Chains A and B, each alone.
Chain A
């Protein structure tokens, strides 16, 4: 058996609204290893986005645990080995998790270059020159080095999403979270974004992707999670999920989307 290097371990994660009347997440347990490309699929309202957003606490779970780098980040504070209370610094953990959103969320008042270097310079205190150099390299990789001084409004959706991806990469994250990165794009632009993501996966980046792109899930993902009604109903390799679906909900879902 190959060695597994766990990055994120999610145990019994719950997100309840109105004291349990609505269960967006109802006990999800999953592990994400280094180098994994985990694709989360499921019908809308199944809690896949909530699950992803919980991973960096954009949604605060109401129960369960998320162990990231050995720390349960769902706790506000914890006791260290000396028995002292330590506050969990969420900003520090978020720096290690890049996130890409459905609606890009580029900063409209800043140029592409400013968008990319803002967090490294202000948060990680990287010298501006160094950050700019790195930004140009990343821009070159996604073929947008000539748009460094453009504003987000001047870019197409696909270009914006590619920028959003490299903006997150500027922080050198350990994990990249993608929240339906192609859902707001024109069909012709989906490919260019998926290509960048594929490239990232090939380089060994750990990724968690919520998507409706079944082709991507099958081709790039090495693990697929199927969620419905806030529960993780089935997980396995893409072959297992797409060729031999076990759970009736999954079979029904696949018959609709494939």
Chain B
């Protein structure tokens, strides 16, 4: 009966240490790019969801220009195509597995529709694998970040909007000067937490051949037929990336709430 862990196996996988170092760099870069894309996407999506763009609003008005109370025209008038698209996007991305999304982006979008140039940067990152991975994860985290932003904005007391609007501020001015400065404080820690989630979730991209930490494990397994020890190394690496990051976030979160003037 073999032991669960054999110490000498760590010695046998030591020559492959460089793979793990490269894996760390790929994972961190992947996560940073993903959160950046996700953040921009989320801003666009949540702006779409909260917009009051109703191109058919006139159908809900009667001859004198009053808003009517009921009828088909009112229902169509309230339809906001931007919000509908954004909501559909968020719900679809949140209700399907990431691994499927990554595969569809890699094999479907970039496999069939677009040809990606195949070159490597930093000497070991394959662009035609890395880029689809970033796009897929970014699209996914954009959906989650959008929900975070929406809830952060909705957590601001409605009285703030009422006060701003009653002073004559427009919807946009209210957002810019009153709601966003307060909402950002609630949102930032959640966005930082999303970064930690992405570090872990990015492991899924090894299925399309991105050479992150997880793919280092598989490379070592293929070369040496050792499986448990590389996995333990990967676990330790992921923990060392995520745990300090979330502790750091918690620290800043406390400091920010200390300065809360409410």
Binding site for B on A (CB under 8 A): 16, 19-20, 56, 58, 60, 62-63, 74-79, 85, 88, 91-92, 94-95, 97-99, 101, 103, 105-109, 118-119, 122-124, 151-153, 164, 167-168, 171, 177
Contact = CB atoms under 8 A, between A and B. Distances in A.
Given A58-B165, A62-B67, A171-B167, 4 more contacts: A77-B61, A79-B65, A118-B177, A119-B169
Contact of A168 (B61, B157, B167, B182): B167
Interface in B136-179: 157, 159-160, 162-170, 173, 177-178
Contact of A122 (B61, B159, B173): B173
Contacts of B65: 75-79, 85, 88
Interface of B: 57, 61, 64-67, 69-70, 157, 159-160, 162-170, 173, 177-178, 181-182, 261-262
A216 B181 CA distance: 38
A75 B57 CA distance: 13
Contact of A123 (B57, B169, B261, B262): B169
A227 B215 CA distance: 73
Given A94-B167, A101-B159, A105-B159, A60 B67 contact: yes
B61 A92 contact: no
A103 B157 CA distance: 11
B165 A94 contact: yes
A58 B162 contact: yes
Nearest to A87: B65
Given A109-B182, A109-B261, A151-B261, A19 B170 contact: no
B262 A105 contact: no
A91 B170 contact: yes
4 closest cross-chain pairs (CB), A and B: A95-B168, A105-B163, A119-B167, A75-B65
Nearest to B185: A109
Contacts of A164: 163
Contact of B166 (A19, A76, A97, A109): A97
Given A105-B159, A105-B160, A118-B177, A58 B169 contact: no
Contact of B69 (A16, A99, A105, A107): A16
A91 B165 CA distance: 7
Nearest to A123: B168
Contacts of B261: 108-109, 151-153
Residue from B66, B163, B165 having most chain A Cβ neighbours under 10 A: B163
Contacts of A109: 181-182, 261
A16 B69 CA distance: 9
Nearest to B66: A75
A101 B163 contact: yes
A108 B164 CA distance: 12
